[in-house]
Structure formats: C-alpha cells, structure tokens
Structure 1
Amino acid sequence: MKFAYKFSNLLGAFYRHGNLCFSKDGNSVISPVGNRISVFDLKNNKSETLPVSTTKNISCLGISPDGNLAILIDEDGAAILVSLVTRAVLHHHHFHSPVHSVSFSPDGRKFVITKENVALMYHAPGRNREFNAFALDKSYYGPFDETTCIDWTDDSKCFAVGSKDMTTWIFGAERWANLIYYSLGGHKDIIVGCFFEKDSLDMYTVSQEGTLCVWESDTELEGLRKGPKYSERKKTEEEKKKREEEESNEDDDIEDIVGEDGETRGDVIKGSADTPKQVEGIKNVRYSQRSKHYFNKEGDFNKLTSAAFHKKTRILVTGFASGAFHLHELPEFDLIHSLSISDQRISTIALNPTGDWIGFGCSGLGQLLVWEWQSESYVFKQQGHFNNMNSLAYSPDGQYLVTGGDDGKVKVWNTNSGLCFVTFTEHSSSVTNVAFNSSGFVVVSASLDGTVRAFDLHRYRNFRTMTSPRPAQFSSLALDSSGELVCAGSQDSFEIFLWSMQTGRLLEVLSGHEGPVSNLCFSPVQSVLASVSWDKTVRLWDMLDSWQTKETLRLTSDGLAVTYRPDGQELAVASLDGEITFWNPQTGGQTGSIAGRHDLQMGRKETEKITAKQSAKGKSFTCLCYSADGESILAGGQSKFVCIYNIKEHVLMKKFEISCNLSLDAMEEFLDRRKMTEFGSLSLVDEGTGDGDGVALSLPGVKRGDMSSRRFKPEIRVSSLCFSPTGRSWAAASTEGLLIYSLDTSLVFDPYDLDMDVTPASIRQQMKKKEWASAILLSFRLNEMPLIREVLEAVPYNQITVVCSSLPDVYVDKLLNFVASTLEKCNHLQFYLSWAQCLLTLHGQKLKNRSGAVLPTVQQLLKSIQRHSDDLSKLCDWNIYNIRYAAALSKQRGMKRTAAESLSDEEDEEEEEVAMDSGGSKLNSWIEKPKPLSASSILSRLSLRQEKG
C-alpha cells in the first residue's frame, strides 16, 4: 500500500493533435493529449486525464451520441474502445493504416472511419457482449485521394465524405434505390469540412483555399426509397446478363468483398465518375449548386485549416492558419464575428450541443480555448509550456504546483482542479529552476537570462528581481527554511550568488567550485547550504559563519543532483556514473550508495548507431527527491522510468513507467528492421511539411515557415521530481507534461489485527449499544473506508471529546489520517473539524514526540482546511457583495418611490388650493370624495402637524 501510487492526472498539456469533442451535456470538452485524453469540466472548472493510453499519439477520436463510449485511434491506425463511465478499455482493434477521421451515426448504431481513399462503416458496439466489437458492415470506394472529413444526416440514412481530390462524396448508409453514391465538385483545394443541413440532404462544403459551396438537393430525406434485397438484386443481374451480354460490365455497381478464407466480410459500394443507373419508376437524387461564397484572405499562407457547423442554429465556424476564426450564419453567409486567438494555426474546432460554446485547439502552442460567442467571452483558456518543462515545486501545504519551462514562463497550478491559474512571463530565456518560500505565497525562479525573480501570489506580480554583478546563467536555485536567503548557482562562472529576499541586495558570492554548479539545496533544520558541481565535489556552506565552506565531500564522478532528507540528517547525491550516494552532513562520512544505472533501462534513439544496452551505460539520474517520511527516495533521469528505492536496505522497491508513447524518441529498445532499407533507416528521412504551416516552395518574399527538417521526435526524459508534502502523491515533469501519481486507497484492502470476531455485523452491534470507541477500534481493524465513515458519522457530536480521549495511541494516528483524507472531499466540515481539533488537543504532546511519522498527515489536514477556508471565504465574499447590491437596489427603488409619492402629494396640495379659490361648492365636493393617501404621505403630514402644533 505504501508504494501503490497510480497515475491520477496530467497537467501542463491541454491539446496536442487530433479533434476536440464535447460531452453529451455540453459541459465538458474532451481533448487528445499525446496518447491520452483529458476531460475538462467547464462548469466545475476541473480536469481529469483518463488512465488509458494508446501506443502512439492520438490522431482522431469519436464519442458515441449517448456519451458513454469513445473510440481513440492513433497515428498508425491502432484503435481502442473506451468506456467513459468506468474509464476502462473495452476492445482493441487495428485498421492497419492511418485513419483520418471517425464519426458515430446520430442513432448510435453505426460508425464510419476514413482511411486512404476508403470509407469503412462498422456496426457500433452495443449492450450485448461480442467477441468482435468492431464488425465491418460496408466499404465505400469513390474518392481518388485521401479522405479528410465525415458528416451524417440527422436520421442516419446517409453520410458525406470529403477528400483531398477536391470532391465530396455522398453515400447511403442503407440500400437506397435512388441514392447509391453522389459526387460533388466545385472546389480548387482540399475539402476541410462537409456538413448536412438539419433534417435535409442539402449540404455545405468548405475547402482549404477559403471557398464555401451551398448545395441543394431535389429530394427530401423521406424521399429515399429502399433498394431491392441482395437475393432479388442477384436474380435481376443474372437475367440482365443473359439478356445483354455486352452491357454486363457496366452494371457492376454492387458486389461482395470476399476474404482470403472465403467468408463474406461485408459489402462494398464502388463509385465511378458516371451517374448511377436509374431504377425504373424511381427518380435519382440530384444536387445543384445554389451559391458560392469566399472567405477574406490575407495572403496565400492564410489557408482555411478547420471548420465546424451547428445544424440547429446554422452557425458555421472556420479557423485559419493565421490564428483567426470567423462565424457566419448560413445559408445567407452573414458574418457574425471575426476574431483572432493567436498567431498559430487553428488545428481543430468543435461546437457544444447547444451551439453556445466553441472549442478551439492549436497544436503549435498546445492551446485549448472555449469561447462563448454570444457574450464574446472566454469560458476556458489554458495553455501549457510549448517547450520542455524543466522544473517543478510543491507549495508547503500541497495545494499548488509551480513549473518553469524553456519558453521562459513560470506557471502556477492548482492540484485539485489541475488547471493553471496564473502565468508569469517576465523571463526572457529558459527557466531552469523554481521554488516556493516557506509561507507558500512567494514563487522564486532562476533563469538563463541572468535574473532571479520573486513573484507574489497575492497580487500576481514580479516584486523582486535579483541579478549578479557580471552577467551569469543561473542553472540552480535554493531558498532557506525562513525564506530570507535566496541563492543561485551559475553554470558559466562556477559561483554561487546569495541575495536577501527582503531587500534584493546581493549579500555574498561563494567561490570554490571548479565546474558548473548543477544543483543547490538548503538544510531544512540548519542554516547550511549544500552545492554539487561537475568538479566531482559536494560543498557544505555555513550561512552563519561568514559563509565559509564547512565540509567538502568527494565524489567518484560529476555531481548532478543533491537533496536533504526532511529531517536534515542525511544527504543524497546523484552523480554521472549512475550512482546515488548517501552522506551524513554532520560527520561528512558516506553512509551508503545505490548503483542505479541498470534500473534506468534506457531505450535507443532512432538516430543512434549503438544498442540500448550500450546507450544506458552513459545515462544517469538527474533528479532526486525524498519521500515525506524520509524512508525512501525517488529518482529519475533520461529514461521512461522513475525508480523508488528503500534507503535503509538500498534496494529498488518499484519502477513507474512514465509513458508508453512510441511517438517519443528513445522508447523502443531494439531497432525496427521494418524501417531499414538499402539507403538506411526510414526514420532519418524527412517526409516534408506535413500538417504544419511551413512553406511548400521557397519563393522570395515568404513571411512564414522555413526549409529545415519538418520531423522532430522529442526524447522521453524526466527533468524534475517532487513529493507532495502530504506524502499522498508525487509529481514528475517529463516530456509528456506534468504527471501526478497518487495513492488510491479505495482499491487496497489492508486489515489490521484481524480476528474472527471482527465483522461488519459485530461493528454495527456495537453501534446499537452506543459503544462508540469500541466500534471505531473494530472498524479500523477491519479497515474498510465506508464502514469507518459510517461509524464516525454515527457518533453524537457531544460524545466526540469522550471518544477521542479513550482511543489508544496506535489508533490516534489512523483516525487522524482518515479524518485528513475524508475532510478533503467531504461536506461535513464542522463535524470532521471537531474530530481533528479533539485529536490534536488531547493527543498533541504524544503526536509531537513522533512528529516525523505524523508530519505528512498533519500537512494533508492543513491542505484540506486551507482549501475549504478559501472556498468558504470566496462564497462569503460573494454573498456579502450580493446582499449589499440587493440592499442598495432596494434603497434606490425606495428613494424613487418616495420621490414619486412626494410629487403626488404636491399635486394634491395644488388641487386643494385651486378648490379653495374656486369656491365652497368645489371644496365640498372634494371633501365628499377624498382621495386615498399613501402611508408615507400620511406620516409626512402628521410630522408637519406636530411641527405646526
């Protein structure tokens, strides 16, 4: 259970490649992130990455109409069927060639995939268990080039397929007598999107050069007629063959696909340039071009790259290579909006079921945006590091994560929602290291631009910038436990610079290393700084004694990483020879070492000439992190594996595979002989521009693109590791993004001191007798979380103190741990806070004596309390502002009403004066019929009388 960490979330990556999809209710957007998919809940502002993955990057995905199933297809055509309810893989299938698009029919019974120049229709998996969930129904041939897009009619009778040959083909999903296939032209470039109108066969087609064609059909959907059955059709064909032998080759529109085993695999419908022969008595479906429209273009490079259409509202959204997008209302082609989100090409567009929200994906920046076009506001706007992620750090309470990347940005993430809530862009070069101060409200970052910057998380600003006298590139960073001292190591001058956080002044320059300073770490209990360098030494600097070198530890190879144990009594160092050595910082003696080179298990790169076994000899761990209890250490480097070692026994406890994505380099251990040709490896061949916005021809005056290599496979590696202060999770900054692994306690059964008498029935019997302490002890011995929660919540509120005082010490730790984990997700705040208060008050001294073991639990409790405190304070502020607004509004309305009533009173007085002047008859008539007075006017008149009286 201690090392049962499971993948829980992926941060820092929101979109890579493929198409976006909205959920059935429209509140979530599903985005492919490498070889995984992430679900972003737009209502609750949360993200979740599913624990399923393909072998390579996902190229397209399709969601069933009921929102329960998803088909994920990677670059090679390998597909997996995933349940979005249980988050489990249901079926594997391989299409044996790259798939361009996939789409379910609106009734959910069929789905179509397009690959090469073929459209394949399959029976969608249903509720019945089947050996083969993907059963081929029909194959549709017609386009002469690769297919690009699919769209269905609302009743699932027909579907359309766009192609790179500039044509759009319409096929019948069933045997229609008057529509077998139909080809539409009219474009001069690749078809980007084809869309049916709602409950109609009318179509819109959009091509890459920025042309929209509106097609009108002469037949309604109800006008489609069923074609003859296969047996009848076969008899008719035989009769025609007998009658007209010379025309037998022309009527070969429909035939069967027969596999090598002789079994019928499905039907094939072949299209040709000729119009399908008309069935007697039935008129074929025909199309005519109603109109043609052109989008505004800013040059040849601004091609239309993606399109989406909402059938109910008739809104067409088109995205361009320049980052601009247009909203048009069809069929009139009225422009609603024309905006730009970035300078990168828009890769995909999706609309939610109601048509209010538009999702955009930009693969160049890894950007995912959801825009509400009616209010012209962003619902969701997230972007990860579009270069490597170099470093990460947890906040002291474990609520936040900060990361720094090669793009010069510092991002702060919320671990509960998985989203970035602030980005600092002040650095002008790569950020090499980041750290939180002890309070958790200041982030400090070091960069190759020669600055160390401090950012305030209250006001979200850069309030301190620290520099060196001579320009230096800072490769490492450390803060002391008080947060007063900031130090950074240089990789070019071999010096360590020390600043004051309060004033920003440079206090000292520590010299002594003879190579680049690779890592720094402050002792958590003493004012001692440990620095490791490429000169094969670790130096301990005393911050209290004139910043002199306290101790120098000699290594066998170049030092790469150094870290202190949480109690400050041990030092771990990773060196270039793949070893992790442990030192006693007080005595300066080595206490042990771990040879980890064989555990890295590095794969070979595609461009390497040597084997993976030889390549692994030159690899080493580049980042280390102690666990919260200090009993184990986490190590990672230039490998797809992260290792956890037991420090006392010096043995490997577990290896975590960060990724299984073969689209990354250095993943495969052996050379793929299928890629070898007489000219060398196919992986070294440049395949051209691909889907990017590069230049097709090197013409003079081009504004964008280059003529360099278009292929780039990032190498898998782990650049930074960090354990959460709560000990419940750890994070790894890798090529895939920011991966979070956490303990999944709900799936682990770990009984404690169990015997025959400990059963759920006996526990509930104790609850009936109101023996609360005994019931709690028995439930913890059985260790079933729902049962423990049931027992705790049954304890009366006034009995909590009595029960806590009678618990043994062993069960105090267990109960505190349970309260801390339950409080994070439970709504009974006051109840569980009372438990935590009683446990800490009554057993505080005993817990303090074993603080090392209890510290992760207390930090988790602090994290939960802090999160609830933030949520409640925001809610209270919102309610206060609402109440103030309502009070001000009612006061304003009351003032208006008073003014109106006083105006009416003045009119009454004027009428009274007129009546007195005109004579007694009018006065008497006015007195006989008095007008009703309001309450405010009565009070005002009474006050006037009192003043006069």
Structure 2
Amino acid sequence: MKFAYRFSNLYGAVYRQGNLSFSKDGNNVISPIGNRVSVFDLKNNSSETLPFSTVKNITCVGLSPDGGLAIVVDEDGAAQIISLITRAVLHHFHFHKPVSSIRFSPDGRKLVVTKENVALLYHAPGKHREYNALVLDKTYYGPYDETTCIDWTTDSKCFAVGSKDMSTWVFGAERWANLIYYSLGGHKDLVVGCFFEKESLDLYTVSQDGALCVWESDTEPSGLVLTKKVAEKEEKESSLEEGEEAEEGEEAEEGGSRALVIRGKAESPKDSEIKNVRYLQKSKHFFNKEGEFNNLTCASFHKDTHILVTGFASGVFHLHELPEFNLIHSLSISDQRISSVVMNCSGDWIGFGCSGMGQLLVWEWQSESYVFKQQGHFNNMASLAYSPDGQYIVTGGDDGKVKVWNTNSGLCFVTFTEHTSSITHVTFTSSGFVIVSASLDGTVRAYDLHRYRNFRTFTSPRPVQFSSLAVDFSGELVSAGAQDSFEIFIWSMQTGRLLEVLAGHAGPVSSLCFSPVQSILASASWDKTVRIWDMIDSWQTKETLPLPADGLAVSYRPDGQELAVATLDGEISFWVPQDATQTGSIAGRHDLVMGRKESEKITAKQSAKGKSFTALCYSADGASILAGGQSRFVCIYNVKEQILMKKFEVSCNLSFDAMEEFLDRRKMTEFGSLALVDEGAGDGVQLSLPGVRKGDMSSRHFKPEIRVTSLRFSPTGRSWAATTTEGLLVYSLDGSMIFDPYDLDMDVTPASVRRQLRLKEWTSAIVLAFRLNEHALTQEVLETVPHKEIPVVCGSLPDVYVEKLLFFLACCLEKSAHLQFYLSWAQNLLLLHGQKLKNRSGAILPTIQSLQKSLQRHFESLSKLCEWNIYTIRYAVALSKQRGLKRSAEQLEEVELEEEEEEEEVVEDEDLFEGMSQASMENTVMVM
C-alpha cells in the first residue's frame, strides 16, 4: 500500500484541440486535453482531470442535456461513454472512422454523430444497464464532402448538418411526410456553423469566408406530419400498451434491428393538403474582415438571447444580435487562431479555446471582463519543483516561461516571462517565498512570491548557457552550471554578486545538488565524474567520484548521507559522499521499456540500449528513489534492496511518437515505412530535422516524443509529480479507496469501537479505530472525545499510535472545518511527546511537513479573509464599543432613575408616617 499512487491531476495543459462544453448549470467548462478530459470549476476556481484516457488525442466531446453523461471520441473514432457523476467509464464503442462532431438532442433521447459525409442517428444511452449502449436508428446520406457541424431544433424533431461542400442539410429525426431531407446552398466556402432559431425551423448558417445566411421556413415545427407507416406503428404500440393483441405479420419495416437508410429524393405526399417544407433565403450578411487570410474559424449561437459569437483566425471575436445582424462588440483576446467557442446556458459567459497557445478563456461579455483565464506551456516542460510546504509547484518550459501552480486548485496563479530562452531548471529556496530559475539565455533569475516580481538577475562575466541549478539549504548561495564553458558559478542571493567560478570539469555540467544539511555541492558532468565541492573551505574540490559513463543527474538523500547518480549507460549508482565509496548500483536499462519511433530503422529493443534515466528524486524518508527518463515509464526503486518496487506508465497516448514497440505493418510499403518515404512535398515527410524537439521549425511534420524530463516527491510524501510531454502529471495516494488495517484481529470491529465510546474509554477507542484503519470511523472517534479530555487522552496514548494520530490530524486539518479542535489535538501531542518524536525526526519529517502544509493553508486563507474584511471588522468593533457605551449610559440613567424613585418613595413614606402619627395623636387626645 505504500506505493499505491494513482493518477490525481494534470497541470500545465489547458486546451489542445476539440470542442469546449459548458455544464448544465453553466459553472463548469469541460475541455479535452490531449487524450484526457478536464473539468474547470469557475465558481470555486479549481480544475480536475478525469481519471481515464483514450488511445489517441480527443477530437470531440458530446455532453448530455442533464449533464450527467459525456461521450468522448478520439482521432481514430474510438469512443468512451463517461459518467460525469461517478467519474467512471461506462461503455466503449468504436465508430471505425474519425468523427467530426457529436450532439445530443435537447430531450436527451437521441444523438447525432457525423463522420466523413454521413450522419448517424443513435438512441442515447439509457439509465438501465444494457449490452449495447449505442443503438443505431437511422443513417443519413446527403453531403458530398466531410461534415463539419450539427444543430438540433428545440423540440428534437429535426437536425441540421453543415458540410465542407458548402451546403447545409436539414434532416428529420422521424419519418416526416413533408420533410425527409432538405439541402441549402448559398455559401462559397465550407460551412462552419448552422443554428436553428428557438422553437422554429428558421436556420442560420455561417461559412469560413465570413458570410451569414438567414433562412426562413414556411412551416412551423407543429406542422410536421408523420408518414402513414410510422403513424400506424405508433398506434399499434399504443394499442399493445393498452393490452390489445397485435396481429402477426403487421410489424413495421423500421421496427427491426437494422437501421433505416435515408437516401434519395423525398416522397411526394399522397394527401394534397400536406405541403412540403420550403426554405427561403431571407438575407445574407458579411463580417468585416481585417485581412485577406482572416478566416472565420468557429461560431456559437445562444437561442434565448439571439446572440451569435464568431471567432476568427486572427484572435478576434464578434458578437452579433440576430436576425438583424446588429454588432454588439468586437474584441481581440489573442493573436492566435480561435479554435473553439461556446456559450453557457444563461448566455452570460463565452468560452474560447486557442490550440496554438494552449489557452482557455471564459469571457463575460456584458461586463467585458475575464471570468477564467489559463494558459499552459505551449512547448515542452523542462523542470519542476515543490515548495517546502507542498502547496505550490513551479514549472519551467521551453517557451521561456516560469509558472506557479496551486496544488489544491490545480490552476496557475502567476507567470513570469522575463527569460528570453528555454528554462533548464527551477527550484524553491528553503523559505518557500523565492523561486530561482536558470535558462539558456545566460541568466539566472530570482522571483519574489510576495510581490510577484523578478528582484535578482544573476549573470556570468561572459555569456554562457546554464544547464543546471541549485540553491543551498540556507538560501544564501545560488549555483549554476554551464554547458559550454564547463564551469560552475556561485552567486550571493543577498547582494547578487558573483562570488566564485569553480573550474575542474572537462565536460558540460549536467546536474547540481546541494546537501540538505551542510554547504556541500555535488556536480555531475559529461566528463564521467561527480565532484564534491566544499562551500566553506575555500571552494575547493573535496572528493571526485569516478563514473562508468557520462553523469546525467545527481541527488542527495534528505539526511545528506547518501548520493545517487544516474549515468548514460542506464545505471543508478549510490555513493557515500564523506569517504567517496560506492555502496551499490541499479541497472535500470531493462526497466526503460522504449517504443520504436516511426522514422527509426532499428527495433525498439536495440533503441532501448541507448536510453537512460535523466531525472532522480529521493522520497521524503529516503528509503526509495524515483527515476524517469527517455521513456513513458517512471520507476520506484528500493534503495536498500536495490530492486524495482513499482513502475508507472505516465501515458498511453498513441498520438505521441515512440509509444508502440512494433511498427504498424499497414504503414509499410514496398519502398519502406511511410514516414521515410519522400513523396515530393515538404509537408508529406514526417521525418523531423536533427535537434528539433519542441516544435515544427521547418516545413516538415513534427510528432512529439514521449519522455519524462523532471521528477519530484512532495515534501509530505503523499504524492509525486513528473513533467512529461503530456504535461505536469501528479500521482497521489488515494487513502479513501485503500483498506490497510494495522494489527487486526477478530475483536477489532466498528461495533467494539463504538462500545468503547459509550463507556467513555477514549484511549482504547482511538487505538481500536487506528487498528481498523478506517478514516471515517477514526474521525468519528476523535470528534466524540470531549475537548477537556484531549490532554489526558494524548498523554495516555502508546508511542506507536502517536505518529499515526499526528499524521491523521495533518490529513484532517486540510479539509475539516473544526480548526481549533484539531489544533488542540496537535498541540497536546507535540507538547507531551515532543522529545520522543525528536529522536525519530527522519521518519516523522513527512508527517510534520504535511501538518505544516495544512496549517500554512489555513493561515493564508484566514489572513486573506481578515485583510479583505479588515474595515468591516473595525466597523463592527467600533459599533460594538458604541453600543456598549450607549448601553452603559442607559444603565447609568436607569440606576439614577431608580435612586430618585427610591428617594421619592422614602419621602412619601415619611410623610405617610408623619400623617399616621398625627392621626394617632389626635385619636389619643379625643379618647382622653
């Protein structure tokens, strides 16, 4: 269970291709990302990548009207039916050809899929479990070229299909007597979008050359009449439902399992009163084009507000009100082609996808402001680093950008663009508020996460290209290795001055790493050595470790007592840096299962002999090491036993190169592989030029190769991240799905745990709950303990359960609302068992870091909340003081009034007493 890491999220890739979709409530954007699908929550400002993937890149996504079901189709036509509620794959289906678009009917009962020049009408998947979830109803032939778009009428009676042959076809979802199919022309370029008016058959069509045609129908949707056969069939079905017996042999032809084919001319109605549906082109409008090649690329229409949104190749989009074609506004959101546009259900938000830059934008057109704006690295990621508390991840890419991602929301919140060339390495300082990055532009830059600015720029005396970077544990020394001058440069973080230039390597410096506990620097180079430099003793070389091959990566164990080095021959060697002795090695070449490239003439087995690990990272406890490189696999090794513990496949996307072990023989010709055959056209050759890794730098086709460039364990040890060709992948331990009991026996049951709670035996209840190791039960036990009993329970806990309880508190603090309650538990545990935990600091370090992460997150959220409401808090305090003074004044007045009333009562009593005494004296005199 220790290595039960599962795919958690995908950062750094926002939009690649395909169509965007809004959820039913309009608060979520569903976007395809490569061969995965991500859901972006606009209300809570978070993202989630669904835990499934297709074989190739996704081209289109169809969302059901109720928002609970989605159908995703990849480049080859392989489809998956996904439940967006349970995040599970319900069914697999294959259309055998690439699908251009897919759309559910508004009533959710049917869906249309278009491939090539055919439109296929399917019964939508039902809520019941079926052997075949997609049943073909009808097949429609009409267009002569590939189809491009689909739209349904509001009542789900008809649908329209646009095509590349510049025509739009209107089909009936049922066998209507007066409408089987209808073809509309009027355009001079391919149709980009076709849209029905609300509760009408009127139609709008938009073409790529910027033309809009308004089509008016002479028939209302209620005027569509079923054919006699379909009407008779419906009558028979209704009679069968009422209990009447059906005669044999009267079954309708359409009722069989074979789908109906709609082709040819429409049948003329036998009843003279029924007239065929006719369309008339009411008007034609043209968009204002800013340039000759400014094509209209995508369009979306909101039927309730009658607003048409169109996106262009120049990054401009227009908003028009139809049918008058009134321009609302025209704006530019990018300088790249807008690939997809969609409006939410209320018509307030517009989602844009730009595949060229990997951008995803949500625009509120009424206030003219961004609701959501994200952009990933549009080239390869080169490096990543976790912050010390594990809340942030920083990435650097070949596009020269440094991005910081929030691990809780999965979104990028700041981007630094000061570098002018590829980033080679990024890292955090020990404080967690400074990011340092090295680049091939010859600079090392430091960024402040408080003010979001570049406050230091480190340069060398002469221009060099920095290929590696390291910052010492104090954050005072910054070192960078050069790949052309073979030198290591040391700067001061405080002053920004160059302190020393370390020379001695005879090859490019590929990797640098500071010891976590002292100022000692390890540098790996292509000269087959690792040098240990002492930063305190005159910058001298302390040790030189000989390697069997070129050094590619070096990493220190968290306690600084061991060094791991990855070399070009595919091995990982372990060294004791104090006395320069090797303790072991791992031959990992056989674990780097490498696929065969399309353009390679050697087999995958021979190609794997030249592959090696390029990234290393120790776990938080130092017991295992994570390794990745020129392969789609990431390996976890046990350092002590030097064996492979688990291997993770980071991608199964066949759209990347070097994924398959054997070449497809269908791509082999008598002249060799199609990838190597030059047909005379530059675009037809898929062989990339030498040295081209990050894009199409020539007219030749480029297909990215799968690889892992950087790896990091989180400080808490609960997750690890890898920068790959696909993006930034995060794998974490899903504790809710894993049952891992501790010291279990027959007496440990939930009933016995609750029995101890009823008896108020708090310590034994906690011990039994941890032995059963169920999260919900343990949380129930802890929250049942009275607050005043927490110190007593913490003091009586056995030592082995102190660490378990502390780790459980760290996990609960991250999401629980009972902040003070869990903080009391943590405080008492650390106060009462601090000395014992200090003796096991190495093993307890991930737990302490996880607790620190949770506390830091709550501190930041509460401090921001207080900063935002500081004036409201001051007003409330002043108002309470004012009310208190007023109340005290009122109380004083009441006291004074009471005293006056008492005095008046005393005076009245005295007068009454005097009157009574006088009356008694008079009575006495009269008696005498």
Q: In the alignment, which residue of structure 2 is the partner of 1:619?
A: 611
TM-score (norm 1): 0.88
Alpha-carbon offset, residue 841 of structure 1: 1.0
Alignment of 1:156-167 (within 5 A): 156-167=156-167
655 and 284 in structure 1: CA distance in 2 versus 1, 3 angstrom threshold:
same
Whichever residue aligns with residue 386 of structure 1, its letter is F
What stretches of structure 2 of length at least 5 have no aligned partner? 234-251, 685-694, 881-928
Say which of 394, 405, 414 aligns to 2:397: 405
User: Which residue does the alignment assign to 1:735?
Assistant: 725
Q: 1:35 corresponds to which letter in structure 2?
A: N
Separation in 1, partners of 2:354, 2:745: 59
Q: 1:508 aligns with which of 480, 500, 513?
A: 500
Listed as ranges, the matches of 1:453-468 within 5 Å are 453-468=445-460
Shift of 1:279: 3.9
2:596 is matched with: 604
The structural deviation recorded for 1:164 is: 0.2
Match of 1:585 among 570, 574, 577: 577
8 Å Cα contact 1:257/1:268 also seen in 2: no
Displacement after TM superposition at 1:866 (Å): 0.6
SS in 2 for 1:802: helix
The residue matched to 2:516 in structure 1 has which SS?
coil
What is the letter of the counterpart of residue 267 of structure 1? L
**1:296-350 deviations in Å (ceiling 9; x for gaps):** 1122210000000000011100000001100111111111111111111000001
Q: Which amino acid aligns with 1:69?
A: L
SS in 2 for 1:508: strand
**What secondary structure sits across from 2:499 in the alignment?**
strand
Q: TM-score, normalised by structure 2?
A: 0.90
Q: Does 1:782 align with 2:772?
A: yes
CA distance in 2, matches of 1:508, 1:357: 55
Say whether the 8 Å CA contact 1:357–1:370 is kept in structure 2: yes
Aligned residue identity for 2:652: C
Counterpart among 262, 268, 276 of residue 277 in structure 1: 268
The CA distance in 1 between the partners of 2:232 and 2:803, in whole Å, is 78
Q: Deviations over 1:643-675 (max 9, x none)?
A: 000000000000000000000000000010011
Matched, 1:803 2:793: yes
Equivalent-residue separation in structure 2 for 1:20 and 1:279 (angstroms): 45
Q: Give 1:881 shift.
A: 3.8
Q: Could you say what secondary structure the match of 1:229 adopts?
A: helix
Structure 1 residues 20-29 or 869-878, which shifts more? 869-878
Structure 2 vs 1, CA of residues 526 and 318 (structure 1 numbering), >3 Å: closer, same or farther? same
| Residue 563 of structure 1: aligned partner | 555
Counterparts of 1:452 and 1:390 in 2: how far apart (Å)? 15
Q: Any conservation in 2 of the 1:256–1:264 contact (CA below 8 Å)? A: no
Q: Which amino acid aligns with 2:732?
A: S
Give the whole-Å Cα distance in 2 for the aligned partners of 1:759 and 1:230.
Answer: 62
> Counterparts of 1:188 and 1:605 in 2: how far apart (Å)?
42
Residue 39 (structure 1) aligned with residue 39 (structure 2): yes
SS of residue matched to 2:869: helix
CA deviations over 1:458-516 (Å, ceiling 9, x no partner): 00000000000010000000000000000000000000000000000000000000000
Q: % of aligned pairs identical?
A: 78
**Counterpart in 1 of 2:436?**
444
| Alignment CA distance shift 1:459-1:836 (3 Å) | same
Query: 1:415 aligned to 394, 407, 410, which one?
Result: 407
Shift of 1:879: 2.1
Determine whether 1:772 maps to 2:762.
yes
Equivalent position to 1:268, from 256, 261, 282:
261
- Alignment of 1:529 onto 2:525: no
Corresponding residue for residue 897 of structure 2: none
Shift in Å, 1:708: 4.7
Equivalent AA in structure 1 for residue 574 of structure 2: F
- Once the two structures are TM-superposed, the CA of residue 756 in structure 1 deviates from its matched residue by 1.5
> Residue 14 of structure 1 aligns to which amino acid in structure 2?
V
Question: How far apart are the structure 2 equivalents of 1:29 and 1:778?
Answer: 44
CA distance in 1: counterparts of 2:200 and 2:551, whole angstroms? 70
Output the CA distance in 2 between the equivalents of 1:884 and 1:364: 49
Q: Secondary structure at the match of 2:590?
A: helix
1:308 aligns with 2:315: no
Counterpart AA for 1:640: R
Q: CA separation of 1:689/1:335 partners in 2, compared to 1, >3 Å: closer, same or farther?
A: farther
CA contact (8 A) 2:301 2:307 kept: yes
For 2:550 and 2:533, how far apart are their aligned partners in 1? 19
**Aligned 8 A contact 2:152 2:160 in 1:** yes
User: What secondary structure, in the 3-state scheme, does the structure 2 residue paired with 1:624 have?
Assistant: strand
1:426 paired residue among 418, 428, 437: 418
Q: Alpha-carbon deviation of 1:681?
A: 2.4
Residue in 2 that maps onto 1:69: 69
Structure 1 position 748, deviation (Å) = 1.1
Residue 858 (structure 1) aligned with residue 858 (structure 2): no
Flag the 1:581–1:376 CA change in 2: closer, same or farther, 3 A.
same
Matched residue, 2:916? none
Quote the offset at 1:231 in angstroms.
10
Contact 2:671 2:677 in 1 (8 A): no
Q: Per-residue displacement from partner, 1:501-546 (whole Å, max 9, x unpaired)?
A: 0000000000000000000000001110000000000000000000
Give SS of 1:582's match.
Answer: strand
- One-letter identity of the residue aligned with 2:738: V
Amino acid at match of 1:874: K
CA 370–388 in structure 1, closer or farther in 2 if over 3 Å, else same? same
Deviations 1:367-397 (A, max 9, x none): 0000000110000000001111000000000
Cα distance change on mapping 1:304 and 1:276 into 2, 3 Å: farther
Partner of 2:118: 118
CA offsets per residue over residues 88-117 of structure 1, 9 Å max, x none?
111111101100000001111111100000
* Cα pair 1:178 1:279 within 8 Å, conserved: no
Give 1:875 deviation, angstroms. Answer: 1.4
Task: After TM superposition, give the deviation of residue 711 of structure 1 in Å.
Answer: 2.8
Q: What are structure 1's unaligned runs of at least 5 residues?
A: 234-254, 692-704, 891-949
Give 1:760's aligned residue: 750
2:479 matches 1:479: no
Task: Give the Cα separation in 2 of the matches to 1:667 and 1:508.
Answer: 45
Counterpart residue identity of residue 289, structure 2: K
* Residue 194 of structure 2 is aligned to residue 194 of structure 1: yes
Aligned to 2:802: 812
Aligned to 1:926: none
What are the within-5 Å matches in structure 2 for residues 716-731 of structure 1? 716-731=706-721
The one-letter code matched in structure 1 to 2:826 is: A
Amino acid at match of 2:260: D
C-alpha distance in 2 between matches for 1:581 and 1:882: 60
Give the secondary structure class of the aligned counterpart of 2:771.
helix
Find the aligned partners of 1:643 and 1:515 in 2 and give their Cα distance.
28
Write the distance in 1 (CA, Å) between the matches of 2:106 and 2:671.
Answer: 49
Report how far residue 887 of structure 1 moved.
11
C-alpha change, 1:468 and 1:256, in structure 2 (3 Å) is farther
d(CA) in 2 for partners of 1:709 and 1:174?
48
Q: Contact 2:175 / 2:230 at 8 angstroms: preserved in 1?
A: no
Contact 1:686 1:711 in 2 (8 A): no
Once the two structures are TM-superposed, the CA of residue 12 in structure 1 deviates from its matched residue by 0.2
**How many Å separate the matches in 1 of 2:879 and 2:358?**
45
Q: Equivalents in 2 of 1:707, 1:25: separation in Å?
A: 43
Distance 1:766 1:668, change over 3 A: same
After superposition, the C-alpha distances for 1:26-74 in whole angstroms (9 at most, x for unaligned) are 1000000000000000000010000011000000000111111110000
Structure 1 residues 25 and 842, CA, compared in 2 at 3 Å: closer, same or farther? same
1:937-948 aligned within 5 A: none
Q: How is 1:333-348 mapped onto 2 (pairs within 5 angstroms)?
A: 333-348=325-340
Partners of 2:696 and 2:702 within 8 A in 1: no
Post-superposition offset of 1:755: 1.5
User: Is contact 2:594–2:632 with CA below 8 Å preserved after alignment?
Assistant: yes
Distance 1:579 1:774, change over 3 A: same
Code of the aligned partner of 1:5: Y
SS of match in other structure, 2:195? strand
Q: Distance in 2 between matches of 1:708 and 1:549?
A: 45
- 3-state SS in 1 of match to 2:97: coil
Q: CA deviation at 1:709?
A: 3.2
C-alpha distance in 1 between matches for 2:170 and 2:678? 36
- Taking the aligned partners of 1:156 and 1:850, their CA distance within structure 2 comes to 68
Does the C-alpha gap of structure 1 residues 486 and 763 become closer, same or farther in structure 2, counting only changes over 3 Å?
Answer: same
